[in-house]
A and B are shown apart, each in its own frame.
Chain A
Amino acid sequence: MLRHNATPTAMSAPVAPFPQVDHQRAVFTDGLALDCGVTLAGHTVAYRTYGKLNTARSNAVLVCHALTGDQYLAETNPVTGKPGWWDNIVGPDRPLDTNRYFLICANVLGGCMGSTGPREEMTDAEGHGMGRPWGTDFPNITVRDMVRQQKRLVEHLGIDRLLAVVGGSLGGMQALQWAACYPESVFACVPIATAAQHSAQNIAFDEVGRAAIHADPDYRGGRYWEDGRVPAQGLSVARMVAHITYLSEEALQRKFGRKLRGAQTLTLLEDVFEVQSYLRYQGSTFVRRFDANSYLTITRATDYLDIAAEHEGSLARAFAGTATRFFVASFSSDWLYPTSESRHIVRALNAAAANVSFVEFPTDKGHDAFLLEEPEFHRALGGFLAGCAARLGV
């Protein structure tokens, strides 16, 4: 049973209060069984849609967001006031063409933008609210759990088969997991700048971020919500470290070099490099919009990801016999999920005799390239989706 538009749990923080936002939601009162063995008695998905679902219900494209993204794909974000994170490719005659497709974007399970997660009200085994947020009592989730929950939303919207599941980074992991779990429900899958498992280096960087949050005295073992504080310092450092991994060395150098803030030369007094200032800004704005326990939950979920391990150690087996068409895209200067990870996926798909396209796009913008102006990438994405749509008569 469903109910829309519940009011989010009230939270406040002296650093910068989370704005109160009513997210569009679907509330499910039946259970969601998680990989860790826990079943969430009830659960909520906050989501947005763009474009119109056709009468055949065949033009739905699920867009999956990355670690710190959200459901506000292509409209002003009500929390940050900034444009949607993929605003540049969504709209009439753009790659994600809202005249042609019905786009769905949902906040991930474990997120902090209205979907069930550490910041939302904890529920007991019967699904009754307990008057406190989940916090660190929120169960450990996996990318597969996120996808299971999205499947419920898609069914709720009356869609049997998605024209495509598209996503970059963690969103790409979800797209792959969709194709592995529900091949009959995914006509096309577009994993972008992503990997089928987290590498030791990926886990290591995540751990630095988590350690920074844990080390913040305001974290208080995860119960910071009790006195309305947030571990702003720790969360900010986590964001700063992660942000470095999103950019290439070349892009950082081009953008900032050794430039100083408000000065031409070093004084050895209170010099601030532009890059320092930039990272501090990234950190400080992040804590105003993201929940620390959500950050811990989602980064752990990405670290747990190992699609091959879920299929007797063979990534090809995860896609055996699949009829899904794939377009794998990587970016040459992405060192967070380098092209080798995408090639690994492509080779597994080839071994599974799947229909796969793959392009490594040359760019110096690093991992973030998937969100930025990359005309060749956009042309290929748009053409691939249009080709799939034409095959389905959309």
Chain B
Amino acid sequence: MPDTHPPIQYVAKNMRLDLRLIGEMVTPGARVLDIGCGDGALLAHLTTTKGADARGIEIDMAEVTEAVANGLAVIHGDADNDLAFYPDAAFDYVILSRTLQAVERPREVLRQMLRIGRHAIVSFPNFGHWQVRWQLLTGGRMPMTGTWHRPWFETPNIHPCSIRDFFDLCALEGYTVEQWLAADENGLRAPWRRSSRLANLFGEQALFLLRRG
């Protein structure tokens, strides 16, 4: 059977999570860069509700066109190649929503985010979720869940990580975790804030607010 899926570069966004939870983290009037901004729904949301100076980077031409046609400041580019050209501390918040697992060099992307932004907001699907663990353990095959729903040979998600992995990377790089939370696929906040181990088991995705040092 031919593959009828259009080629996708990054996973689809869960805008409810982006809009509500990320929106809560951004202070009014902030300068914001949304990496992998899609058609700019979050940018529009932050501009209208927070009076933010919001800009975006998106790899998909059709999405960028849509965003620009809606009057949003979005450039056709990608996290791996374009962040290096921004000056230090150009933004208050640099957002990478459900894209970290799909970039070539996640560690370098995070470094760039915290160079050009005072804060980084990062969300990613949690590979430590119990369903993922269970499927691999019992089936012996790459897991396929609501969150991880592309087969291994065509997934754009080349750097999956778990919540605990991400905590480790932050410690390694010396980033301060200002806030973090686990959430289910619909962006409803999950109640495991005290225990990263439990969050890692039951959270389908995670959201972190970081700063340097």
Q: For B82, give its contact among A350, A388, A391 (CB under 8 Å).
A: A350
How many residues in B have their beta carbons less than 8 Å from beta carbons of A?
22
Q: Are A380 and B65 in contact (CB under 8 A)?
A: yes
Shortest distance in angstroms between B69's beta carbon and chain A's nearest beta carbon?
Answer: 3
Given that A350-B82, A380-B68, A384-B68 are contacting pairs, would A356 and B73 also be in contact in the complex, using a CB cutoff of 8 Å? Answer: yes
Q: Are A360 and B61 in contact (CB under 8 A)?
A: yes
How many residues in A have their beta carbons less than 8 Å from beta carbons of B?
28
- Asked if B119 CB lies within 8 Å of chain A CBs, one says no
- Asked if B96 CB lies within 8 Å of chain A CBs, one says no
Q: For A353, give its contact among B72, B76, B90 (CB under 8 Å).
A: B90
- Asked if B64 CB lies within 8 Å of chain A CBs, one says yes
Q: Chain B, 54-79, contact with A by CB distance < 8 Å: what is the 0/1 string?
A: 01000001101101111111111100
- Asked if B87 CB lies within 8 Å of chain A CBs, one says yes
Shortest distance in angstroms between A278's beta carbon and chain B's nearest beta carbon?
Answer: 30
* Docked pose: A327 CA to B73 CA in angstroms: 8
Q: Chain B, 94-137, contact with A by CB distance < 8 Å: what is the 0/1 string?
A: 00000000000000000000000000000000000000000000
Q: For A379, give its contact among B69, B72, B76, B85 (CB under 8 Å).
A: B69
- Asked if B86 CB lies within 8 Å of chain A CBs, one says yes
Shortest distance in angstroms between B186's beta carbon and chain A's nearest beta carbon?
Answer: 31
Q: Are B77 and A380 in contact (CB under 8 A)?
A: no
- Asked if A1 CB lies within 8 Å of chain B CBs, one says no
Q: Are A379 and B86 in contact (CB under 8 A)?
A: no
Interface of B is mostly: mixed
Interface-centre pick from B55, B70, B71 (highest chain A CB count, 10 A): B71
Report B-chain residues with C-beta under 8 Å of the C-beta of A362: 61
Q: Are A387 and B85 in contact (CB under 8 A)?
A: no
Q: For A359, give its contact among B53, B68, B90 (CB under 8 Å).
A: B68
Q: Are B77 and A358 in contact (CB under 8 A)?
A: yes
Report B-chain residues with C-beta under 8 Å of the C-beta of A376: 61-62, 65
Q: Are B85 and A347 in contact (CB under 8 A)?
A: yes
Given that A380-B68, A384-B68 are contacting pairs, would A357 and B73 also be in contact in the complex, using a CB cutoff of 8 Å? Answer: yes
Report B-chain residues with C-beta under 8 Å of the C-beta of A384: 68-69, 71
Chain A residues near B (Cβ < 8 Å): 325, 327, 343, 346-348, 350-351, 353, 355-362, 376, 379-380, 382-384, 386-388, 390-391
Extra contacts besides A325-B73, A350-B86, A382-B69 (10): CB < 8 Å: A347-B85, A348-B85, A357-B68, A357-B73, A357-B75, A358-B64, A361-B61, A376-B62, A387-B72, A390-B71
Chain B residues near A (Cβ < 8 Å): 53, 55, 61-62, 64-65, 67-77, 82, 85-87, 90
What are some 6 contacts across the A-B interface (CB < 8 A)?
A346-B75, A357-B72, A358-B74, A359-B68, A376-B62, A383-B70
